[in-house]
């Protein structure tokens, strides 16, 4: 199959799918008893909505909400976690984030602080926000005069703030900004196209290229284009080996994942899909000979229990074809494919249409892929785990970091960027936590939490963490010791352990904060 003939599965729009109501063709296709039963059920649904609308003890502002609930229930009856109903607004957001990999907006990354106020983490380069000199740490207090505060009382959420900031390109929006040591001021920005990034990269010591893919997104541009650019830059920089990080990557577009895998594999099958009921979903995705990453470049792929779906397609293809080795933890095990169908009211439904198979013909659904080199994440002991949970229920770290940044900002006249200076003061935080919160925690676990908050508040986007990332450290060690080939061709007594089933659902993606 040639590349340009592949459809975009997982997010493919099909206009006007009939639902609940019976069409003439359906009447012809059903037997008499089936037709009577279906008509009775449709009539029962309409009657139930009517009775509720007329007799419910409180006014029903939107009776159509019950019909939407009926659609949710119909799909839920299939007992498939990946088949579900999507509201119109959520569908539009998915089209922007997943299929288009861009949206109309301002180009800021936002987060809500512990008090429910919205802050800017950092403006995205070459966007309206960056050109207007918005800064990390700025508060957005109003949007077009509407006060911004997240709480149950206001009913405002981060998603609703995103809706206010995003919009049609070329339209204006006025935001009120509160910056440290300044009076609030208004900035009027014209919305523009803002790309959504899914790839980060850097060159590690020893000419080891590192590319992290957080999701597989984009139609014509997106993950595939970003990946090509990163790989090209690494090759130009003298890359001798490559680490591809798919940890936490919960999937995306099958087509994008296919192209990434095809960049490494020059022959054979990359993935195939099969349906038990509809042959049109039986597809084969062969490798093409024009690879982007030379075969003599040792490849290590990092995976964990949250690597799912499309990322497992890439990992499975690389492992089965022996193009590289997998390091980390066994993947989640989502071996089914969904297609997104748009319904007549602008909402949509995600429907599981097929099972996919790795090049060896293996279905990894509910099983996952076991890496050649198993490396568990470092975990706190039982007591420190309890202390971390207790810490998460307080604002102590956030308050300490925020005050430290404010003080440093005032002294230096600019936003601080060196975490090591703050790290020197963490023993003070330790003492405060012990005295005021009865929390005793080592710097081993306190420091990474403080650094995460520091980076977020000052707008630092850290690509790798070589201090505490044991899986990445092991990947580097394997490359430096020239052991990739050893794991590709293990001796009989070094066979990998058998697979075991993983039943937990992966966590949902965080709401995108690029506006």
Residues with active-site annotation: 309, 320, 334
Question: What distance in Å separates the CA atoms of residue 288 and residue 264, rounded to the nearest whole number?
Answer: 10
* Residue 391 CB contacts under 8 Å (≥ 6 apart), including other chains: 397, 433, 437, 439, 441, 449
Residue 240 and residue 61: Cα distance in Å, rounded?
63
Report how far residue 326's alpha carbon sits from residue 112's, in angstroms, rounded to the nearest whole number: 36
Backbone torsion region of residue 147, taken as left when φ is above 0, otherwise alpha when ψ lies between -120 and 50, otherwise beta: beta
Conformation bin of residue 497: beta by default, left when phi > 0, alpha when psi is -120 to 50: beta
Instruction: Say how far residue 20 (Cα) sits from the centre of its chain.
Output: 32
Residue 188's beta-bridge partner residues?
A: 174
- Upper half-sphere CA count for residue 378 (Cβ side, 13 Å): 12
- Cα(318)–Cα(358) distance, integer angstroms: 9
Reference 112, options 513, 515, 514; nearest CA is 513
Nearest to residue 353, comparing CAs of 10, 14, 5?
Answer: 10
Q: Which residues lie across from 151 on neighbouring strands?
A: 156
Return the number of other C-beta atoms located less than 10 Å from residue 53's C-beta: 12
DSSP letters spanning 122-168 = EEPTTSHHHHTT--TT-EEEEETTEE---BTTTTB-HHHHHHHH---
What is the CA 371 to chain-centroid distance, rounded?
22
* Residues ≥6 apart with Cβ < 8 Å to 142: 148, 175, 176
- Tokens 């995103």 — which residue? 162
Q: Among all chains, which residue has been given the structure tokens 């005793």? A: 440
Integer Cα distance of 373 and 496 in angstroms: 8
Q: Distance between CA 114 and CA 279 in Å, rounded?
A: 52
**Structure-derived torsion over alpha carbons of residues 123, 127, 131, 135, reported in degrees to the nearest 10:** -10
């Amino acid at each position: 199959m040639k590349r340009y003939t592949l459809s975009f599965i997982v997010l493919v729009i099909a206009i006007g799918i009939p639902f609940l109501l019976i069409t003439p063709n359906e009447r012809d296709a059903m037997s008499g008893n089936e037709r009577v039963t279906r008509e009775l059920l449709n009539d029962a649904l309409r009657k139930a909505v009517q009775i509720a609308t007329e007799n419910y003890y409180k006014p029903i502002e939107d009776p159509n909400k019950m019909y939407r609930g009926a659609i949710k229930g119909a799909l839920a009856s299939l007992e498939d976690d990946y088949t579900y109903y999507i509201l119109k607004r959520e569908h539009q957001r998915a089209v922007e984030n997943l299929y288009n990999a861009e949206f109309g907006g301002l180009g800021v990354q936002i987060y809500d602080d512990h008090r429910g106020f919205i802050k800017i983490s950092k403006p995205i380069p070459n966007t309206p926000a960056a050109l207007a000199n918005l800064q990390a740490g700025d508060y957005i207090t109003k949007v077009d005069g509407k006060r911004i505060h997240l709480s149950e009382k206001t009913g405002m959420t981060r998603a609703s703030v995103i809706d206010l900031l995003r919009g049609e390109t070329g339209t204006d929006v006025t935001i009120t900004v509160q910056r440290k040591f300044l009076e609030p001021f208004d900035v009027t920005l014209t919305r523009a196209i803002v790309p959504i990034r899914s790839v980060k990269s850097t060159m590690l010591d020893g000419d080891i290229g590192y590319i992290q893919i957080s999701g597989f997104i984009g139609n014509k541009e997106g993950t595939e284009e970003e990946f090509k650019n990163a790989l090209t830059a690494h090759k130009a920089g003298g890359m001798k080996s490559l680490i591809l990080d798919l940890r936490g990557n919960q999937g995306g577009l099958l087509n994008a994942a296919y192209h990434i895998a095809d960049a490494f594999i020059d022959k054979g099958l990359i993935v195939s899909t099969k349906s038990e009921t509809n042959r049109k979903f039986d597809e084969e995705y062969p490798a093409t000979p024009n690879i982007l990453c030379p075969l003599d470049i040792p490849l290590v792929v990092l995976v964990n229990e949250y690597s799912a779906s499309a990322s497992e397609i890439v990992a499975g293809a690389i492992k089965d074809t022996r193009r590289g080795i997998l390091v980390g933890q066994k993947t989640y095990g989502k071996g089914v494919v969904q297609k997104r169908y748009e319904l007549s009211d602008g909402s949509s439904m995600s429907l599981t249409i097929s099972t996919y198979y790795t090049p060896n013909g293996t279905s990894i659904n509910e099983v996952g892929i076991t890496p050649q080199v198993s490396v568990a994440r470092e975990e706190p002991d039982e007591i420190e785990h309890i202390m971390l949970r207790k810490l998460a229920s307080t604002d102590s770290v956030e308050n300490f970091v925020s005050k430290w940044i404010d003080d440093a900002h005032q002294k230096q006249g600019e936003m601080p960027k060196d975490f090591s200076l703050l790290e020197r003061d963490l023993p003070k935080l330790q003492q405060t936590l012990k005295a005021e919160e009865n929390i005793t925690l080592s710097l081993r676990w306190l420091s990474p939490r403080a650094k995460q908050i520091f980076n977020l508040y000052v707008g630092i986007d850290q690509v790798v963490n070589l201090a505490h990332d044991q899986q990445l450290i092991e990947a580097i060690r394997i490359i430096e010791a020239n052991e990739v080939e050893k794991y590709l061709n293990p001796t009989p007594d070094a066979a990998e352990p058998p697979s075991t089933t993983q039943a937990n659902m992966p966590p949902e993606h965080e709401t995108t904060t690029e506006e």
